[in-house]
Amino acid sequence: MAGTAGTPGTPRVLRAMNDRAALDLLLEHGPLSRTRIGKLTGLSKPTASQLLARLEAAGLVRVTGTSEGRPGPGAQLYAVHPGAAYAAGLDVAPHRIRAAVADITGRTVGEYELPTPGRHPAGPVVQQVTDALDAAVKAAGLARSDVHRLVIGTPGAFDPTTGRLRYASHLPGWHSPSLLDELAAALPMPVEYENDVNLVALAEQRLGAAKGHGDFVLLWSQEGLGAALVLGGRLHRGWTGGAGEVGFLPVPGTPLVRQVTKANSGGYQELAGSQAVPKLARELGIEDLPSGPYTEVAAELVARAADHTSGPYRELLQTYATRLATGLASLVSVLDPELVVLSGSALTAGGERLRALVQAELEELAAARPRLVVGNVQEHPVLRGALESALVTTRDEVFDTSR
C-alpha cells in the first residue's frame, strides 16, 4: 500500500537515507556545522536543522562546540555521539588473544592481551575468549552488555558446512565441533568469525593502502604465509573458507610437500615464509642473527637487509624478493588483480626496497602487471580489521532511523 512506513520513496525512508548520509559525513569529516552538513547533503537549512534535531534526540549526534574564525557568534558543531554503541574485536594467535573495544566512531577505548602459552591451551577456549573480552571491556570502563557486536579473527577459517576450524592445526583448543555453539551460549552479543588475513585486507581497504580499490590481493607474512582475495569489492572466501591459504601452494624451488594439512605447511610457506628467512641468512654466511621468535628474527633480518646495498644482506633481500614473487606469480596469473598489498612484519620490514624488488621480479614471472604497495595499517592490523568489520554492521543497525 502506498505510504506504508518502510516503503521505498516514503517520507520515513527518505528521512532515514538523509540521516544516514549525514552520519556518514560526520564519521568521515569529524564535527560539522548545520550549514556545512546542508551543503554536503544538498539539504535546505530547515531540513538540515530538523535532521540534526532528530539525530540528537535519538542520541546519535551531539553538539561538541562552536566554529571559530568568523565574525559574530560561532555556529554549533555536531559530531557522532561516541557512546551511541560499542563494538569489539579479537585477534587470536597460538600464544595470545588480543582484544579491543571501539566506540561507534572507530576510536579504540579499551584493549587487553591475554597470553595463552604452550602447546595446550591454558584453559577452555570459551573461558579464554570471555576473559580477554571482559578485560578489554573493563579497560574501556564498560560492561559486557554494552558491546553491540563481536568479530573474532583466527588463522584458518570455520567451515560453513561443518562449523569446524580448518587450515589452522597450530591453534590449540579451537577445533571442537561444538565450539561455536559454546561461544554463542557464553556471549550475549552477536559473534562473527573471520580469517585473520581477510581482516587485514578489510583494514587496508577501509583505512589503508587499498582504500578505493575493489580488486586486490593482500599477501601476509607473519607466523604463516597467507593471502586475502578481494574481487569486485568483496572478500572471496571459497567454498570451505580456505581461499587464500597460499602457504600450501606448490612452487618451484622447494621439495613437493605432501599431506599439507598434517604438516601445516606447503611449498610456498617453506620457500618464502618467515621461518625461511633465518635459514637463508645462515646459508649466505650471516652469523650475527638476532634472537627471539622466528617472526621477529625474520623481520629484523629483512629490515637490516633493506639498509644494505652490498654483501650478503643485499643477496638476502634479492633472494627473498624472488621467492615472494615466485608464489605471487601464480596468484596474479589466475586473478589478475589491480593491486597487491604486502603486509605482515616480514614484508613491511623491507619497506620500499623490498617492494621494488618483488615488483621487478613479478614483472618477469607473470604476464599480469598489478601495482605492488606496502600496507599502511601496521599496528595490530588483524585486530583493527576485526573492529572495522564489527563496526560496519553495528553502524548499519544503530544508524537505521527508519524503524
Look at residue 118 and tell me whether its pLDDT is greater than 70.
no
Q: What angle do CA 244, 205, 153 make, to 5 degrees?
A: 55
**Mean pLDDT across the chain, nearest whole number?**
92
DSSP 3-state of 258: coil
217-237 average pLDDT score: 95
Query: Would you state the cell numbers that stand for residue 172, as one nine-digit string?
Result: 590449540
Q: 1-15, 30-44, 223-237, 345-359 — which is least confidently predicted?
A: 1-15
Q: Half-sphere exposure of 153 toward its Cβ, with a 13 Å CA cutoff?
A: 28
Which domains, ranges and CATH numbers included, belong to the chain? 11-80 (1.10.10.10), 85-199+382-398 (3.30.420.40), 212-376 (3.30.420.40)
290-298 average pLDDT score: 93
10 Å Cβ neighbour count for 57? 9
Q: By the 8 A CB rule, do 41 and 22 touch?
A: yes
- Cα 140 to the center of its chain, rounded Å: 21
pLDDT of residue 5: 46
Give me the amino acid identity at 251: V
CA 87, CA 103: separation in Å to the nearest integer? 6
CA 367, CA 350: separation in Å to the nearest integer? 25
Q: By the 8 A CB rule, do 215 and 252 touch?
A: no
Edge-to-edge order in the sheet of strand 32-33: 32-33, 76-80, 61-66
217-239 average pLDDT score: 95
User: Residue for cell digits 623491507?
Assistant: 350
CA 384, CA 204: separation in Å to the nearest integer? 9
User: Using CB atoms within 10 A of its CB, is residue 72 exposed (0-12), middle (13-18) or buried (19+)?
Assistant: exposed
CA 364, CA 332: separation in Å to the nearest integer? 12
In this prediction, residue 2 has a pLDDT band, given cuts at 50, 70 and 90, of very low
Query: Tell me: the pLDDT tens digits for 72-113?
Result: 455 899 999 999 999 999 999 999 999 999 999 999 999 999
Per-position b or e across 224-260, b if 16+ CB within 10 A of its CB: bbbbbbbeeeebebeebbbbbbbbbbbbeebeebeeb
Q: 122-131, 232-241, 312-321, 368-377 — which is least confidently predicted?
A: 122-131
28-51 average pLDDT score: 94
Q: 69-83, 90-104, 222-236, 295-309 — which is least confidently predicted?
A: 69-83
22-42 average pLDDT score: 95
pLDDT of residue 401: 84
In this prediction, residue 172 has a pLDDT band, given cuts at 50, 70 and 90, of confident
- Break the chain down into helix, strand, coil percent, rounded to 5: 45, 20, 35
Query: Tell me: the pLDDT tens digits for 122-146?
Result: 468 999 999 999 999 999 999 999 9
Look at residue 15 and tell me whether its pLDDT is greater than 70.
yes
Share of the chain above pLDDT 70, in %: 95
**DSSP per position, 26-87:** HHHH-SEEHHHHHHHHT--HHHHHHHHHHHHHTTSEEEEEE--SSSSSPPEEEEE-GGG-EE
In this prediction, residue 42 has a pLDDT band, given cuts at 50, 70 and 90, of very high
In this prediction, residue 359 has a pLDDT band, given cuts at 50, 70 and 90, of very high
